[in-house]
C-alpha cells in the first residue's frame, strides 16, 4: 500500500520539478516575502518589535492570498485531467485502490507546496537573521507561519480534488478553482466586513461573525497566526478581533484540521464514483 | 468456474438513450488471440470498461481470471491499453514505464527490457512530449506487457502506427499469446488482422453478431468470389452471353461464383480463347466478411 502511495507521490513531485512548477512557486513566495520584509522594514524600526515577527505578520496576510492559489493550481487537474488524458484508465486498471491514488496525489502535492514554502519563506528569514534583525522568538513565529501555511495549502488542495472529481473537463475545473479562490479568499471577507460595518453591535457581530471566521480556512488561518503573534496592536484589522472572540484562537487551528479531514474524505468518496 | 481467462455471460449495459451492450456472451481461453471488431460506437470500449470493472453492468455475469471484474485478483493478472493515452509529457519513457511497474508491484528494473522489445531503447531517456504518435503507442504497449499479465486488453493498439510498427505489434501479440496469455484487441484495421488472430468477434450496435475463426466466418457469410473478365473491345456482349451474366462495363464483364464453382467458371473463361484478354479474381476480404455480418445485423434490427 505504502509503496503505491509513494509511487504516485513521487510521480507528482517529479512532474513538479520537470515542468518547473516547484521553481515557479518557490520564486513567487520568495520574491513576495522578500519584498514585504525589506520594503516593510521602514515603519518597524520605530516600534521596537522583532523584525522577524513584524515580517511574519505581513507574510500571514500574503499566505492567505498566495498559498490557496498555488494549492488550487496544483490540484484542479489531479483527477479530471487524468480522465481526459486517459492515464486514469491505465492507473486504475493496476492493482491500486482509489483512496491510495488520492492520498498519493495529496502527499506529492503537499511536499511540493512544503518545499516552496520552506525555501521561499526560509530565504527571507535567513536574510533577516543575516542582517542581525532576528531573535529566537521571531524564528519560532516563522516556523509556525510555515507550518500553518502548509496546513492552509492542504485545505485548498483538498478543495481542488473535490472540484476535480466533480467536473469532467480540466477547463471547467480550472474555472471552478478560480471561483473557489475568489469566494473563499476575497468575497467571503468582504461580505463579513460589510455585515459588520452595517451593524457593528448587533447579534451578527457578537455571535455569528466569530464562527463565520472559523468556518473559512483562509480566515481561520489568519486569525490563528495573528492571535499567536500577539501582534494585534501592530497590524490591526482582523487581528484586533482575536481579543473579543468568545473562544480560544487555537480553535482556529482545530477548524483548519477538521476542514482538511472533511474535504479529503469528500474527495475520496467522490473519486469512488468516477468512471475513468 | 472454468479455466477460461475471460468469461462473459449475457451482459448488457444501456445508457440513457441507447443500448451500448446487449446480451453479449463469449469465453476466451488462455493463449488465444482474439480480435473484437465493430464500427464506432458498437460497444467495444464499453465492453472493455465493464471487463475492467470501471462500469457497472445492467445484467449478466463477467468472470476475469475466475474473479470479479475490478477486484484485486482480476487486476493483478490483467493489463490494459486504452484507445488514446497522453502520458505526462514532462517525463521520460523510462520513468513512465517504471511508474507503472511499481503500481503493478513489479521491480522497475525488470520492466526496462520491454522498452527494447517495443523498439524504444534509444528514446528511453527522452521526454515523452518529443515522441511521435507511434512511439507513444509503443510505450503504452510496453506498459501493457509489464509483469507477464494473463489477460491483455488492447483498445485499438495499431491506430496511428506505420506498417512496420504494426507488424512489430502483431509479432509481440503473438509472443505474449505463446507464453499462455489471452489477448483481446479491438481494431478498425481489418485486413491486417488476417492470419494474425485465432478468432474474431464482431459487434454491431451492442450485439455480438459473429464469433468464430476467420475462414469459418467466410464460409458462414457465403460471400461470392468476384471475377472481372477483360475482353477484346468488340466481344463484350458475346462473352457476357456465353458466361450467362448481364453485368458488363465497356471492356469488361463481371461474374460472381461460389468457392465450389470457381474452377468450373475459370475453365469456361479459358474456353473462350482469344476473346478474353485478362481475368481478375477477388476472394472476399475480411472487410467484406465484416460488412456482411454488420449489415445483416443492422437489417434485422
- Rounded to whole angstroms, the Cα distance separating A115 from A112 reads 5
B83, B86, B103: residue with CB nearest A7: B103
What is the value of pTM for the model shown? 0.87
Kindly state whether A1 is in contact with chain B, defined as any CB-CB distance less than 8 angstroms: no
The shortest C-alpha distance from A105 to chain B (Å) reads 14
Provide the H-helix boundaries in A45-187.
51-75, 80-85, 87-92, 98-130, 136-166, 170-181
B57, B103, B136, best to mutate vs chain A, most A CBs in 10 Å: B103
Flag if A94 and B83 touch (Cβ within 8 Å): no
Distance from CA of A254 to the nearest CA of B (A): 35
Total domains in chain A come to 1
Decide if A236 touches B, using CB distance below 8 A.
no
In this predicted structure, the answer to whether residue B262 has a pLDDT above a threshold of 90 is: no
- Pairing of the two strands B248-249 and B151-155: unpaired
Give the closest-approach CA distance of B290 to chain A in angstroms. Answer: 29
- Is residue B290 within 8 Å of B190, Cβ to Cβ? yes
Task: Give the Cα separation of A23 and A82 in Å (integer).
Answer: 23
List of long-range contacts for A61-67, beta carbons under 8 Å, 24+ apart: A61/A222, A61/A235, A62/A32, A62/A33, A62/A36, A63/A145, A63/A149, A63/A152, A63/A221, A64/A152, A64/A185, A64/A218, A64/A221, A64/A222, A65/A185, A66/A28, A66/A29, A66/A32, A67/A113, A67/A117, A67/A149, A67/A152, A67/A153, A67/A156
Model confidence pLDDT, tens digit, residues B20-64: 888 899 999 998 999 998 888 888 889 999 999 999 889 889 999
pLDDT at A223: 87
Q: Using one digit for the tens of pLDDT, what is the confidence trace for B93-123?
A: 999 999 999 999 999 999 999 999 888 899 9
Give the closest-approach CA distance of B58 to chain A in angstroms. Answer: 15
Residues in B touching A87 (Cβ below 8 Å):
85-88
What is the count of residue pairs from A and B with beta carbons less than 8 Å apart?
A: 68
Closest Cα in chain A to B91: A15
Supply the ipTM of this predicted assembly: 0.87
pLDDT for position A271: 93
The residue of chain B nearest to residue A11, with distances taken between CA atoms, is B99
CB-closest option in A89, A94, A275 to B75? A94
Distance from the Cα of A275 to chain B's closest Cα (Å) equals 6
DSSP secondary structure code for residue A46 in this structure:
T
pLDDT at B76: 92
Exposure string (b/e) for B112-122, b if CB count within 10 Å is 16 or more? bebbebbbbee
Residue A113 above 60 pLDDT? yes
B48: contact with A, CB 8 A cutoff: no
Strand order in the sheet with B78-81: B78-81, B151-155, B182-187, B33-38, B199-204, B207-212
Residue A8, pLDDT > 90, answer yes
- On whether any CB of chain A is under 8 Å from the CB of B94, the answer is no
- Closest CA–CA distance from residue B105 to any residue of chain A (Å): 8
When CB atoms are compared, the residue of B78, B82, B90 closest to A15 is B90
List phi, psi (to 5°) of B166. -60, -45
Domains annotated on chain B, with CATH: 6-219 (3.40.50.300), 224-283 (3.30.70)
B52: chain A residues, CB-CB within 8 Å: 89, 92-93
Domain that holds residue A40: 2-272
Q: How far apart are CA A221 and CA A267, in angstroms?
A: 22
Mean pLDDT over the full length of chain A: 87
Grid cell at residue A195 = 455585515
pLDDT band, very low/low/confident/very high, at A68 (cuts 50, 70, 90):
very high
- Quick one: pLDDT at residue B265? 85
Q: Do B80 and A93 touch (CB under 8 A)?
A: yes
Mean pLDDT, chain B, integer: 87
Give the span between the Cα atoms of B206 and B50, in whole angstroms: 13
Nearest CA in chain B to A96: B103
Amino acid at each position: 500500500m505504502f509503496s503505491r502511495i509513494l509511487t504516485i507521490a513521487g510521480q507528482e513531485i517529479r512532474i513538479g520539478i520537470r515542468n518547473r512548477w516547484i521553481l515557479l512557486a518557490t520564486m513567487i513566495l520568495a520574491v513576495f516575502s522578500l519584498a514585504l520584509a525589506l520594503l516593510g522594514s521602514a515603519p518597524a524600526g520605530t516600534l521596537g518589535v522583532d523584525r522577524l515577527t513584524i515580517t511574519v505578520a505581513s507574510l500571514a496576510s500574503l499566505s492567505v492570498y498566495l498559498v490557496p492559489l498555488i494549492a488550487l493550481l496544483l490540484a484542479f487537474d489531479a483527477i479530471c485531467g487524468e480522465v481526459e488524458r486517459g492515464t486514469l484508465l491505465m492507473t486504475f486498471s493496476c492493482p491500486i485502490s482509489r483512496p491510495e491514488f488520492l492520498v498519493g496525489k495529496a502527499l506529492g502535492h503537499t511536499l511540493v507546496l512544503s518545499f516552496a514554502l520552506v525555501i521561499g519563506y526560509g530565504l527571507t528569514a535567513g536574510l533577516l537573521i543575516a542582517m542581525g534583525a532576528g531573535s529566537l522568538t521571531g524564528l519560532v513565529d516563522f516556523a509556525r507561519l510555515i507550518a500553518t501555511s502548509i496546513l492552509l495549502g492542504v485545505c485548498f488542495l483538498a478543495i481542488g480534488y473535490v472540484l476535480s472529481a466533480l467536473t469532467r473537463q480540466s477547463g471547467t475545473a480550472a474555472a471552478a478553482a478560480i471561483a473557489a479562490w475568489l469566494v473563499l479568499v476575497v468575497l467571503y471577507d468582504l461580505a463579513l466586513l460589510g455585515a459588520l460595518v452595517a451593524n457593528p453591535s448587533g447579534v451578527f457581530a457578537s455571535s455569528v461573525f466569530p464562527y463565520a471566521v472559523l468556518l473559512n480556512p483562509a480566515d481561520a488561518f489568519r486569525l490563528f497566526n495573528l492571535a499567536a503573534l500577539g501582534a494585534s496592536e501592530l497590524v490591526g484589522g482582523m487581528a484586533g478581533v482575536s481579543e473579543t472572540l468568545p473562544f480560544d484562537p487555537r480553535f482556529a487551528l482545530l477548524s483548519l484540521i477538521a476542514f482538511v479531514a472533511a474535504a479529503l474524505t469528500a474527495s475520496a468518496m467522490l473519486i469512488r464514483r468516477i468512471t475513468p | 468456474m472454468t479455466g477460461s481467462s475471460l468469461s462473459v455471460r449475457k451482459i448488457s449495459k444501456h445508457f440513457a438513450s441507447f443500448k451500448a451492450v446487449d446480451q453479449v456472451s463469449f469465453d476466451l481461453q488462455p493463449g488465444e488471440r482474439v480480435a473484437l471488431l465493430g464500427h464506432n460506437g458498437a460497444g467495444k470500449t464499453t465492453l472493455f470498461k465493464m471487463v475492467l470493472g470501471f462500469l457497472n453492468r445492467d445484467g449478466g455475469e463477467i468472470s476475469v481470471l475466475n474473479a470479479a471484474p475490478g477486484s484485486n485478483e482480476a487486476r493483478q493478472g490483467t493489463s490494459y491499453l486504452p484507445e488514446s493515452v497522453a502520458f505526462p509529457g514532462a517525463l521520460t519513457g523510462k520513468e513512465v514505464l517504471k511508474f507503472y511497474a511499481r503500481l503493478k508491484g513489479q521491480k522497475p528494473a525488470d520492466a526496462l527490457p520491454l522498452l527494447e522489445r517495443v523498439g524504444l531503447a534509444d528514446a528511453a531517456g527522452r521526454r515523452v512530449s518529443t515522441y511521435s504518435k507511434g512511439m507513444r503507442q509503443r510505450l503504452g504497449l510496453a506498459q501493457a506487457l509489464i509483469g507477464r499479465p494473463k489477460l491483455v486488453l488492447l483498445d485499438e493498439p495499431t491506430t496511428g502506427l506505420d506498417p512496420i510498427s504494426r507488424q512489430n505489434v502483431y509479432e509481440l501479440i503473438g509472443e505474449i499469446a505463446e507464453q499462455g496469455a489471452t489477448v483481446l484487441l479491438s481494431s478498425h484495421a481489418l485486413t491486417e488482422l488476417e492470419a494474425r488472430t485465432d478468432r474474431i468477434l464482431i459487434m454491431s450496435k451492442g450485439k455480438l453478431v459473429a464469433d468464430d475463426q476467420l475462414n469459418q466466418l467466410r464460409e458462414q457469410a457465403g460471400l461470392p468470389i468476384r471475377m472481372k473478365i477483360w475482353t477484346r473491345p468488340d466481344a463484350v456482349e458475346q462473352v457476357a452471353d456465353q458466361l450467362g451474366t448481364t453485368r458488363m462495363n465497356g471492356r469488361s464483364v463481371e461474374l460472381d461464383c461460389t468457392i465450389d464453382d470457381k474452377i468450373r467458371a475459370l475453365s469456361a473463361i479459358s474456353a473462350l480463347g482469344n476473346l478474353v484478354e485478362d481475368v481478375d479474381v477477388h476472394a472476399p476480404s475480411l472487410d467484406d466478411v465484416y460488412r456482411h455480418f454488420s449489415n445483416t445485423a443492422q437489417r434485422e434490427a
